[in-house]
Structure 1
Amino acid sequence: MKRHTIFWIAAVTAVFGLLAASCGGDDDAADDTSAVTETAPAPEDEAPTAADEEEPMAEEEPMAEEEPMAEEEAMAEEEAMAEEEAITEAIEEGDIADIATLDMDTNGDGKVILGVAAAGPRDDGAYYQALVDAAEDISAAQGWEPPIVVDNIEPAVAATELENLAAQGVDIIAVGAGEISDPLPDLVAQYPDIFWYCNCGTGFPQMDGVALSTNDGAEIEYVVGVAAGLLLQEHGGDTAYMIGCCDLGFEVETELAMRLGLKAVDPSFDVVYTPTGNFPFDFDNVAGATEAFNVALDAGMDLVYPYLGGAHEPLVQLANEHGIPVTSAGASDVCSRTDLHWDMAALFDGGDFARAVFPLIVSGAFVEGDIYKFAVGRDPEVGALICDPTPEQKEQLDQAHADVWNGYCLAEFDAIRAIAYGGVDMEAPLVCSDA
């Protein structure tokens, strides 16, 4: 009862304190000496209530132990890394002339035919033609029939065009771009005997029934920007123009990553993007691209990146006529060509990807359901190349590739992808945080 008694003593004391304060603050009451204050009798002791009793301290619940990573997940991650390393080594050692150890005659008609599905013209001299040329080389090296090529496939009719190709007795189908890949799940189920391969590009997810090669556009275009910046330093000027299609997600990624690379060379360098397509995926609009080139020329263009398909070579021709440094858009063989002149190459050549993985396909080392991501700094198929570099330019560009492979600019690449594909409203990075 001690706690209960003290409680009431304290309460009474508090009451007197309040009264005293009240009296001290009232002048009239202080002057009236006849005023008498009666003290209320102390209440009788009462039995303590449950609220008055001290509650025992609740026992602390034991903290949940952190669950270790599931053994299965760790093993799966290790297996994936080991598989990627094995594919990388096999690619380095493979050749398209390696004798097939698998029978690629999947329909049993006594011959092997490789079908190619291209989203643009087969003879554009750029991205689309690269895969067609590789298919012809692979077929000849393996002793197969000449490939069947269906080109200029628009996304809206991709299902029909791919089904028509599958119905022509082909044993393998190589799909040249992610933009025409939406029908693949249904077609794989409809034609399970065909071996399906897709060069589906940046960030494409793994898919059952399809062997996939992918790449990272932000990584590639960052080093493209570095190479372009080195050329601007050499030739003078500070502005590159990227002439593209229609502000698609991967074009946004390209522009932002290229700008990041340019500014890594010189913070004053920049890139201006100009769309020329009449509709999504219209990379072949020569008239629109020519008009955009002339406008850029009048605005003071110092380097041009014709990020185009069928309209690529016409702009290279214009660049040559006006003495403007120019880069390829995917094709890796441009430095050795003599019909037109390129100063550098942006490397994401679908033909190079096919040449790299097809020796593994015919040996059974790369099967449907597998995915291989070509990485800047590890795989020579992706990155950037200056056609006639000075020793200093080569050293700096090689270092940029190595930096990317070692994890440089990861946060900025993630931000660029979020803007390009996720619609995130944020300022695009202009410098790498680990610079």
Structure 2
Amino acid sequence: MRGSRVRAVIASAAVMSLLLTACDGSESSGGSGAPGERRQPDVNGDGKVVVGILSPGDTKDGGYYQSFVDDANKIARAAGWEVRTIDRVNPADALTQARNLCRQRVDLIAVGAGELKDALTAAPEDYCQGVNWYVNSGSGIAQTEYFAQSKDVINQTLYAAGYAAGLLLQRSGGSKAGYITGPELDFAKQGARAFETGLRAVLPKAQLVVTYTGSFDDSAKAKEAFVAQRAQGVGIVYPYLGGATDAVAREANLAGVPVLTPGTDRCADSTVRYAVSVVFSPGTYFAAALDEFRDGTLKMGTTRLWTLGVDPVPTVRICAPEGDQQARLDQVMKDIGSGRLDVDAAVAKLR
């Protein structure tokens, strides 16, 4: 009788041990626990780590969109991971492409920009269970438990970019700047307002010529826009573009018009000359998230805010500053980071 009781106790303990193991998920191939507690980096336990990337732009544009995959590939190669990239994704196809990546048993899906936010709606679906999600959201997407995101504040960075443009125009005696972008999307329009506000902080009577070409990547349309703006007398130009950025820069170089970058530091570029690097590289943000993913500390349901004047990026750098130009710009960025300068209020006042 005593032996039967002992065996019952042992059996009960064994069952409890199995239940604890199952709850812990350490032996599970799916890793499908609570969204904030998913195993990383080999989430599905298949012995390999695969990162899927969805980008709305050309990941060979030499700038913003390319930085996202370049930094991912550096980390992936060092860790022995695989990266699968799908670029030029139409926002209308984002959800379908995300589901396709889930069916390929990827461990992490990274969404390169907020335009593809619909991809995130796949996260709770059955075949995406256990997958980790990351999005570079720009100005931010409503946070849920299923993904981690990085964001910056467009008003901060574009105000500082406009301020830098104002400093260069002040030195050259100009009073008109150009802003060339793609579709007339909310973030592009907001960027123009912030840029103009920063410009006028230096030159109160400065004018900004804004052109929407309908495409971030169409070089012919972008060059046509610059030629038209140059005829209107712009003395500096900001191609807030993707793949068409360098096309505008080359035309501006020929015309002797200074150019700003949209996202990456290209002051040392030997093929195209840039006067100002406006750095809000999504690759830098993504690299920080991948470091956490590698270490098993990337938490779903969280947002990391990158602040101008506080974090290393975003930032704005004048490539060949004269006099106190960079010092003045640095002070503005510090004032933004500390809250001494309320750029949101300043942009809201723009008429």
TM score, norm. by length of structure 2: 0.84
Contact 2:145/2:300 (CA < 8 Å) preserved in 1? yes
1:349 paired residue number: 281
Question: Secondary structure at the residue paired with 1:336?
Answer: coil
1:15-73: per-residue Cα shift (whole Å, max 9, x none)?
Answer: xxxxxxxxxxxxxxxxxxxxxxxxxxxxxxxxxxxxxxxxxxxxxxxxxxxxxxxxxxx
1:165 paired residue number: 101
1:142-168: per-residue Cα shift (whole Å, max 9, x none)?
Answer: 2223x1110000111111122223323
Offset, 1:326:
0.3
Contact 1:116/1:135 (CA < 8 Å) preserved in 2? no
Q: Does 1:112 align with 2:71?
A: no
Question: Which of 180, 205, 210 in structure 1 is aligned with 2:147?
Answer: 210
Runs of 4+ in 1 over 6 A off after TM superposition: none
Question: Which of 257, 262, 284 in structure 2 is aligned with 1:329?
Answer: 262
Q: Does 1:383 align with 2:322?
A: no
Offset, 1:238:
1.3
Question: Secondary structure at the residue paired with 1:325?
Answer: coil
- Residue correspondence of structure 1 range 13-412 to structure 2 within 5 A: 103-145=40-82, 147-190=83-126, 191-277=128-214, 282-332=215-265, 334-390=266-322, 392-410=324-342
Structure 1 CA distance, aligned partners of 2:40 and 2:186? 39
Question: Secondary structure at the residue paired with 1:226?
Answer: helix
Choose 209-218 or 288-297, whichever is displaced more. Answer: 288-297
Offset, 1:203:
3.2
Give the number of aligned pairs. Answer: 312
Question: Secondary structure at the residue paired with 2:125?
Answer: helix
1:401-427: per-residue Cα shift (whole Å, max 9, x none)?
Answer: 0110121342x515747xxxxxxxxxx
Structure 2 CA distance, aligned partners of 1:338 and 1:106? 42
Structure 2 CA distance, aligned partners of 1:250 and 1:115? 25
Structure 1 CA distance, aligned partners of 2:305 and 2:197? 22
Structure 1 CA distance, aligned partners of 2:100 and 2:323? 51
Task: Work out which of the two has the higher radius of gyration on C-alpha atoms and give 1 or 2.
Answer: 1
Question: Secondary structure at the residue paired with 1:305?
Answer: strand
Offset, 1:233:
2.1
Contact 2:95/2:121 (CA < 8 Å) preserved in 1? no
| One-letter amino acid matched to 2:329 | L
| One-letter amino acid matched to 2:230 | L
Offset, 1:314:
1.1
Structure 1 gaps, min length 5? 1-101, 418-427, 431-435
1:256-312: per-residue Cα shift (whole Å, max 9, x none)?
Answer: 1111111111212232211001xxxx3112222121111011111111111111211
Contact 1:306/1:328 (CA < 8 Å) preserved in 2? yes
Structure 2 CA distance, aligned partners of 1:318 and 1:170? 42
Structure 1 CA distance, aligned partners of 2:347 and 2:189? 8
Contact 1:331/1:346 (CA < 8 Å) preserved in 2? yes
Question: Secondary structure at the residue paired with 1:242?
Answer: strand
1:26 paired residue number: none
Contact 1:118/1:153 (CA < 8 Å) preserved in 2? yes
Question: Secondary structure at the residue paired with 1:413?
Answer: helix
1:413 paired residue number: 344
1:35 paired residue number: none
Structure 2 CA distance, aligned partners of 1:129 and 1:384? 19
Structure 1 CA distance, aligned partners of 2:178 and 2:88? 26
TM score, norm. by length of structure 1: 0.68
Contact 1:221/1:383 (CA < 8 Å) preserved in 2? no
Offset, 1:364:
3.4
**What's the C-alpha RMSD, in Å, of the aligned pairs?**
1.8
Structure 1 CA distance, aligned partners of 2:99 and 2:87? 13
- Report percent identity of matched pairs: 37
Structure 2 gaps, min length 5? 1-38
Choose 339-348 or 214-223, whichever is displaced more. Answer: 339-348
Structure 1 CA distance, aligned partners of 2:125 and 2:321? 49
